[in-house]
Amino acid sequence: MKLFSWLPIIVPALTAWAITPWVIKIVKKLGLIDYPNNKAKAIHTTPLPRGGGLAAFVAISVALMIFLPVDKITLSIIVSLAVITIYGLADDKKDLNPYLRFLLQIGVATIPVLAGVRINFTTNPITQGVLTLGGSENLLLRALPFVFSVCWIVFLMNILNMGAKGIDGQLSGVVTVSALTIALLSQKYSADITQWPVIVLSLIVAGAYLGMIPWNAYPQKIMPSFSGSNIAGFMLGVLSILSTAKVGTLLVTLGIPIIDTFYVMTRRVLAGKSPVWGDKGHLHHRLLDLGIGKRQIAYLYWASTAILGMIALNLNATSKIYTIVGVAFFLGGLALFFEYAKNQKSGS
């Protein structure tokens, strides 16, 4: 493969890597610092600058304007990323109410959907046939592609924020692997010229977060924070829709953080707590309690994402459902093991 083919991943990677030191200086001047003593769920022991998503925003936006035509979808993505960065930095400063953040996510997810990024069809997991969405005279049914697309993007923004950014380097590695998985998926359909921009966009996202790994990996110099995770979830949501609406592939690829977040939110609700207020009940917290290091936990997330991604590329819709159920049972077993280990430790 010629060097030019790698530029969509090289340019954003170098951009993110090069500007992050400047981002660190900027957020420090703005007072965007995370103090561990202010949060019960914090696992870092020293104050860290927040706002790492600013580097991702710049890297992705610059690469978009270099490698892709500036059309309404490209512009909608850049505008959305700018809005995410603004409210993400505001959250880093003031810790916005989770329900306000949710409303902002809905608003920002609507922008690319209005530009045409929509789930217009999906695969029937039973017959393997294609289910067309919105092909009806009924106004409510015609709105399905719009509603499903917004919900999907918002869903991923929250999954990446809640289940994939608690450990140094965790988010950057998971997003890099997930974006590369979508690039490989789109490569399967490379005979369709509409998939080439998706491949390029996937490489751009992978490159941006790859370039952030040296700064986010243990011991991290800056936290990706809300903006970094929301940009990641937003971009993966858009990519999975553009990539022939293969949302099932991404569901499997992100199976660990998705199921982990579901379990954590369910536990909070059953305990009479808000499902969106953070605690130390995620998988990475449990692994830390077992004495596993932060670097090793990040590698575990990267590896599991890569393995599930490779599996997902070779599964049909029905097999993807079975795989997700299998991941759920596996994590459920881990949760029982963690409780047993905790009880044994407290009883000794």
* pLDDT for the residue numbered 191: 62
Q: How far are the Cα atoms of 28, 92, 119, 222 from residue 23, in angstroms, in the given order?
A: 8, 14, 35, 9
> Is 50 within the bounds of a domain?
yes
Query: How many residues are listed for the chain in this entry?
Result: 348
Q: Which residues of the chain have pLDDT under 50?
A: 1
* pLDDT for the residue numbered 277: 77
> Is 235 within the bounds of a domain?
yes
C-alpha to C-alpha distance for 348 and 343, rounded to whole angstroms: 9
Annotated binding site for Mg(2+): 161
- Residue 243 structure tokens: 């990539």
> Is 45 within the bounds of a domain?
yes
> Is 189 within the bounds of a domain?
yes
Which residues, in sequence order, are bridge partners of residue 122? 131
> Is 64 within the bounds of a domain?
yes
* pLDDT for the residue numbered 37: 73
Question: Pairing between strand 121-123 and 130-132?
Answer: antiparallel
pTM for this one?
0.92
* pLDDT for the residue numbered 281: 82
* pLDDT for the residue numbered 233: 97
> Is 231 within the bounds of a domain?
yes
> Is 168 within the bounds of a domain?
yes
- Residue 91 structure tokens: 């959250």
Tally of structural domains, the chain? 1
Q: Please say whether the beta carbons of 58 and 15 come within 8 A.
A: yes
Q: How is residue 218 annotated by DSSP?
A: S
> Is 40 within the bounds of a domain?
yes
C-alpha to C-alpha distance for 325 and 246, rounded to whole angstroms: 18
For residue 78, the enclosing domain spans 3-247
